[in-house]
Amino acid sequence: MAEDFLAIREEVAKLCAQFPGSYWQEKDKARAYPGEFVEALTEAGYLAALIPGEYGGAGLPLSAAAAILEEIQYRGCNGGACHAQMYIMGTLLRHGSDAQKQQYLPKIASGELRLQAFGVTEPTSGTDTLSLKTVAKKDGDSYVVNGQKIWTSRAEHSDLMLLLARTTPRDAVEKRTDGLSVFIVDMREALGNGLSIKPIDTMMNHSTTEVFFDDMRVPAANLIGEEGKGFRYILSGMNAERILIATECIGDARFFLDKATAYARERQVFGRPIGQNQGIQFPLAKAYAQMRAAALMVNDALARYEAGDNAGAEANMAKMLAADASWAAGEACIQTFGGFGFAAEYDVERKYRETRLYQVAPISTNLILSYLAEHVLGLPRSY
């Protein structure tokens, strides 16, 4: 489970030590992509952890990727700059043709190509993925794509994009989940040829963008799997995404708790360490309990996912509980530090902003609760 892989964790910790808080503070101030950090992870093979050995990867299970990402967050770094490669790649691995896997996976494993961009969310549909409006029409040996995506993070720093687009009109399919298809887009060729990218300035340094398609051509050979079945192809990838994001939140919570408890033992006010006060102790202790409970849920989700079971409920609960735990730990940490918690040099305010994202992404807490109500508790669909 995520608490295993101690040797990998130790090596990840050594790598992260080369990128201290000052590195991240500079990137945050400049809103710059941490390319050096991503390159170091790539060279060490961590971003190829899930790619099978026959394609040049490590062939490790999802729990290994979880351990890597948790450790990155715990050490004060930010896996959000590259975590997508781990869960996006699964769609290609599970549903891509042999030719596609041979063409892309070895280059992704070696770092020659980056697969970091996931083109799903749109301005008018949000998490209502089945209502997306980006259209791909077959035209000879290619598809012509028109539409728009938003919150497509790392599009400016990725060579390839996994794109979900409608290939059959919604009113022409029997099932709501039909009619969507997945494509691999080579953004190096498409940029300026129907593809344009507009950065979005956000609360945290997340390299996110809007992406516009204007008669962009994608070779028909880049269609993954069967036309019209794309939605189901990305579903298991979404479960993996939620589990991995949950492990990042566990790492964030551990970061905040370590920072806060160390500070509370050292900081003297009124002639005594502030950690002696229950007003400091109780929020930290409660956040710790939340983190430990969430970690158990993450491990359950990982076990079900790796066993090939439907881990939908567990992945959603893991993400929700872990995001709540990291936010609670962040709140307690800020309160412990007081005014110093808002000073960039301590890294607390940066991580506080970063972990806040996971209350709404990759899926909001309310949508998770709706999913559990309907699919676990058997209540009527609310939307």
Mind listing the pLDDT tens digit for each residue in 304-322? 999 999 999 999 999 999 9
Write down the pLDDT at residue 257.
98
Mind listing the pLDDT tens digit for each residue in 244-303? 999 999 999 999 999 999 999 999 999 999 999 999 999 999 999 999 999 999 999 999
| Sites in the chain below the pLDDT cut of 50 | 1
Amino acid letter for position 316: N
| 252, 302, 369, 291: CA torsion to nearest 10 | -30
| DSSP symbols for 26-41 | HHHHHT---HHHHHHH
Write down the pLDDT at residue 1.
43
How many residues in total does the chain contain? 383
Alpha-carbon gap, residue 160 to 224, rounded angstroms: 13
Write down the pLDDT at residue 3.
54
